[in-house]
Chain A
């Protein structure tokens, strides 16, 4: 595929309001460089991420999805939202593999409000990883069938 070299992945980032979104904000105000491939959606808690949001993102052509929330075990503003997210994403990855979508395209990270550098590093690393994986296989299939 000729597109692969110039391929710029689209990554949807669901960041929790209390930790990770503030962490991304810190990366911004600290002027830490990271690739512009991520599109951030702020949610109140990583426990708010319904697996359907992630599936919808992949269906609409996202090449990767990042879910980020407050550190385990006790940083969550809502006490146990991050634990719920951990269990949901773990289960969803299994389902994604069965759907034929590489589970590595979905990533869960814990990023606190003081970890701007970690946020930037995660985005950098994830962008690289998804570039290696190539575009979302769903997009290729849609072009080919009918």
Chain B
């Protein structure tokens, strides 16, 4: 007796499209997926309208993989719609999981983003100062554009999410494992992040020696010893505060981890965890006696962009979530 195929949907909100490509990075495994499932909605690959989704009965879709964060009305509408139509909603990739690069817009608000993008950017010529409006009266009638929000939200902050697949984009290994788990119906408890519990350091092959660092190098400033831990050589690596599952693939090519895997389960604020870890290993302990506030200020001032470094992927899901901007 032929088992009824699973119905799968993919959707993208505020994302770069890399997650869509990651789906194809599973290579021939995509054939297993098609054996087991029908794709009922995938705007990047199929001609299908939102109306068709609206006409589906509730809980019609078995699994919806949603990538991208939620930064405007349309994305919020689709998140809520797909939540209604899907039995299982998976936040696919760092944007849906914790906000990612689009989430860095939370250091600004709509007004600042529009000013920069449509008016002040040096490659923009916009003498009439035209910025997008939500409504426009044309001859044919009123045209509407979705409203652009001040704050970028994660999928989990918008609707209830069943599973999270971290990574920018999620590593093939984790996608395959998730698909296998779905096929065998062996998914863990709802709300789980489908990744190992340990940090990237656990998968990193480099030698750790527990050394203090007193000078920070940016990636281009130093050719690191490929055998040794990058953090101990003064290159900021988010490995200690980042969840593994990627096989430390950046470290394998001597690039530091930037933290796309999101926080480890026991230190849910990734930026704070890394600030804490980095402050622990920085310093001039042997010169304790002459350590002044000024020395410390100079030492820590080597870190040029704390939010961009420690919250590159996790600003919307961090404790504060965004910059406080007084209106």
Interface residues of A (CB under 8 A from B): 50-52, 55-56, 58-59, 72-74, 80, 83-84, 86-88, 90-92, 94-95, 98-101, 137-138, 140-141, 144-145
Contact = CB atoms under 8 A, between A and B. Distances in A.
Nearest to A92: B275
B265 interface: no
B288 interface: yes
Nearest to A72: B291
B327 A137 contact: no
Interface residues of B, number: 38
Given A55-B320, A73-B288, A145-B150, A88 B326 contact: no
A94 B291 contact: no
A51 B324 CA distance: 18
B212 to A, nearest CB: 11
A21 to B, nearest CB: 21
A24 B318 CA distance: 32
Nearest to A142: B324
Nearest to B278: A91
B269 A55 contact: yes
Given A91-B278, A137-B326, A145-B151, A52 B272 contact: yes
Contact of B296 (A74, A80, A87, A99): A87
B273 interface: yes
B322 to A, nearest CB: 8
- Name which of B151, B289, B296, B320 has the most chain A CB atoms within 10 A of its CB: B320
A91 B151 contact: no
Interface in B258-311: 267-269, 271-273, 275-276, 278-280, 282-283, 285, 288-289, 291, 293, 296-297, 299-301, 303, 306-307, 310
- Name which of A56, A80, A90, A98 has the most chain B CB atoms within 10 A of its CB: A90
B319 interface: yes
Contact of A141 (B285, B319, B324): B324
Contact of B325 (A50, A55, A83, A141): A141
Given A52-B272, A84-B279, A87-B296, A138 B320 contact: yes
Contact of A90 (B150, B272, B296, B320): B296
B272 A55 contact: yes
Contacts of B267: 52
B323 interface: yes
Contact of A86 (B285, B289, B296, B301): B296
A99 B308 CA distance: 11
25 contacts: A52-B276, A52-B319, A55-B318, A58-B320, A72-B291, A83-B283, A84-B279, A87-B279, A87-B282, A87-B300, A88-B275, A90-B299, A91-B303, A94-B306, A95-B275, A95-B307, A98-B107, A100-B324, A101-B320, A101-B324, A137-B326, A140-B326, A141-B325, A144-B327, A145-B150
